[in-house]
């Protein structure tokens, strides 16, 4: 029998009391309060995943993923400790060496959640020898391109295509280091799928794996979100609709 959701209350995150509503996860309550918990695979509009493990915190001394763990009254949660940030830095270093991330030449630079999180965690280098895997770039779609060199297997596009777009364009195949993103089409290419540029999955990628064509530098380097403020800063307010 599943335990009922906590009706709401207060937990303590890094010494600060945070209220939570019934059914909220630690991540949801923290974000509502403007408190940053590092993450790559979390999105407000999508269900729980726990894929990237960057949001792992200590809850009453035990490790738990903040994006999948329900808040409960009186919990004591450690988030930005030296120990946890060191673990996150190690995970980030492994992500960088397992893929081909060349930030200075990437169109996503300055708006890339992976890059911004690495800066926030104080990652100064890869630490490990890079794999430099050989991965394809799929430019078959008229409006978007898919660069698997940058894919970090966060599953955001998979979940977005299933949960919001209702298409199931993407999936994860393979095992271990051979895991990779799959496109649901006869040829396995994006251009032969039902994917469209206005799909939610088209804009949810936290890195530069799925990008629109012919729009790479509409926002110039130096004026992008993470050029102007660190990832831990509150997001800028949404633009107001004009009358």
For residue 96, give the nearest of 64, 70, 129 by alpha carbon: 129
CA angle 152, 226, 83 (to 5 degrees): 65
CA pair distance 181, 158, nearest whole angstrom: 9
CA pair distance 146, 41, nearest whole angstrom: 18
Q: What is the pLDDT of residue 176?
A: 87
Q: Between residues 75 and 6, which one has the greater pLDDT?
A: 75
Average pLDDT over residues 36-50: 96
In which region does residue 150 sit, left (phi positive, over 0), alpha (psi from -120 to 50) or beta (all else)?
alpha
Q: Between residues 5 and 180, which one has the greater pLDDT?
A: 180
Residue 215 per-residue DSSP state? -
* pLDDT at 216 > cutoff 90: no
Q: What is the pLDDT of residue 213?
A: 97
**Which CATH number is correct for 107-228, 3.30.70.20, 3.20.190.10, 3.90.190.20, 3.40.50.620?**
3.30.70.20
Average pLDDT over residues 15-22: 97
Show me where the domains of the chain are located. Answer: 8-80, 107-228
CA pair distance 46, 28, nearest whole angstrom: 12
Q: What is the pLDDT of residue 1?
A: 47
Please say whether the beta carbons of 121 and 92 come within 8 A: yes
pTM value > 0.85: yes
CATH number of 8-80: 3.10.20.740
> pLDDT (tens digit, 9 = 90+) per residue, 139-156?
999 999 999 999 999 999
HSE (side-chain half, CA atoms, 13 Å) at 176:
1
CA pair distance 28, 65, nearest whole angstrom: 12
- Lowest average pLDDT, out of 87-91, 125-129, 200-204, 207-211, goes to 125-129
> pLDDT (tens digit, 9 = 90+) per residue, 80-114?
999 999 999 999 999 999 999 999 999 999 999 99
Q: What is the pLDDT of residue 241?
A: 53
Q: What is the pLDDT of residue 95?
A: 96
Q: What's the mean pLDDT when you consider all of the chain?
A: 94
Please say whether the beta carbons of 67 and 79 come within 8 A: no
């Amino acid at each position: 029998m599943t335990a009922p959701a906590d009706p709401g209350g207060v937990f303590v995150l890094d010494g600060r009391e945070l209220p939570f509503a019934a059914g909220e996860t630690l991540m949801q309550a923290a974000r509502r309060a403007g408190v940053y918990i590092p993450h790559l695979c979390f999105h407000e509009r999508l269900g729980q995943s726990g894929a990237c493990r960057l949001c792992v915190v200590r809850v009453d001394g035990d490790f738990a993923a903040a994006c999948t763990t329900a808040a409960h009254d009186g919990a004591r949660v450690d988030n930005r400790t030296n120990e946890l940030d060191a673990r996150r830095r190690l995970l980030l270093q492994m992500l960088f060496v397992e893929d081909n991330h060349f930030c200075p030449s990437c169109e996503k630079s300055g708006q890339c959640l992976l890059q911004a999180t690495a800066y926030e965690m104080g990652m100064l280098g890869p630490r490990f020898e890079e794999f430099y895997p050989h991965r394809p770039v799929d430019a078959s779609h008229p409006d978007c391109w898919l660069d698997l060199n940058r894919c970090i297997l966060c599953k955001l596009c998979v979940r977005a295509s299933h949960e919001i777009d209702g298409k199931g364009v993407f999936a994860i195949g393979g095992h271990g280091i051979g895991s990779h993103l799959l496109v649901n089409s006869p040829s396995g290419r994006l251009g032969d799928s039902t994917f469209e540029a206005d799909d939610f999955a088209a804009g949810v990628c936290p890195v530069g794996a799925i990008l629109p064509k012919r729009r790479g530098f509409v926002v110039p380097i130096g004026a992008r979100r993470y050029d102007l403020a660190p990832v831990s800063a509150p997001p800028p307010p949404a633009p107001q609709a004009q009358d």
